[in-house]
Structure 1
């Protein structure tokens, strides 16, 4: 916590003044919450499966997430759109959102986050195909540095049938 006090001083304020006195403790608690994804294996959420005969696209879109840029410790946030075409098993819809949160609540870059979600679905559910699209705003771009507040970053991870069949990829994208 002394490091946080030193940071407050370095920025030009007094860590002992009334509004900042307990800030180091609050910052520590906040960072433990921001990074709670390290204390779980997000893939485990997907292990609850059901035998349902469904061979078409399952898409959970607009899954809100909040993450921390590993380069600046600045927040980035947005939505994840996660879809897969089942082969033999499906998982609960909330499990997909929990998986997104588990990977997002780590120090991240958006590209890795996108891949980790898709690879977890591939590994655990073994679907015919998986596609993840993430759209996010990065405070390291919007609130500092280049200061482009309207800039959004979109990343994709495409596996299986979505790689080879443009009609399946188009179906996913049209539903967004």
Structure 2
């Protein structure tokens, strides 16, 4: 079952600074111990003794997007492109994120396209931008718009197209418990936003079709 959402562009938030009054290691580990007790388990048993430390380390890795600026990743561009000005698409960018409502995983892939206006960016930088936003607490709708926003604002291309398809563990593991349900979101800026043919061309390339 697929849910499709077209996201309108909200105010840019990709330059938001991380929280500066982060708790110390001791507070984090104490909080994890409390959660372990909340589950009904014993945080002092052998298998859980080091869990608070492991969770703190894992959170540092999974949420390191708060310490990175996606705009900086797009800072270096290339103008020697032999006059190329057609659609550039990077598809199937795998990512793992976490739902901001339940802090459980969102697993999916992003497809990003843009129409250059005299300059292009390294393809790995597009994937890096996806990862930075994914490594924050997210809703899929916000993440879709954030990726499009930063590419549009920094590269100033003629248009940006972003589509994300993902499975939300908050829907698969709890509540309605519908495994395999996929949510699709898309955002279009510039030329894409008012040109259905360009949207179709992007979607066709994402799905692996050939476009003449």
* TM norm structure 2: 0.82
Q: Which has the higher contact order (CA 8 A, sep 6+)?
A: 2
Q: Where does residue 13 of structure 1 map in the other structure?
A: 41
Q: Does 1:44 align with 2:81?
A: no
Q: Where does residue 167 of structure 1 map in the other structure?
A: 197
Q: Does 1:30 align with 2:40?
A: no
Unaligned stretches of 5+ residues in structure 1: none
Q: Does 1:131 align with 2:131?
A: no
**Structure 1: how far apart are the matches of 2:150 and 2:166?**
20
Q: Pairwise mapping of residues 62-141 of structure 1 onto structure 2 (< 5 A)?
A: 62-141=92-171
How many Å apart are 1:144 and its aligned residue? Answer: 1.1
How many Å apart are 1:3 and its aligned residue? Answer: 1.4
**Structure 2: how far apart are the matches of 1:29 and 1:116?**
26
Among residues 151, 156, 159, which one is paired with 2:181 in the alignment?
151
How many residues align? The count is 176
SS in 2 for 1:19: helix
**Structure 2: how far apart are the matches of 1:115 and 1:171?**
20
How many Å apart are 1:85 and its aligned residue? Answer: 0.4
**Structure 2: how far apart are the matches of 1:150 and 1:4?**
30
Superposition RMSD on alpha carbons, in Å? 0.7
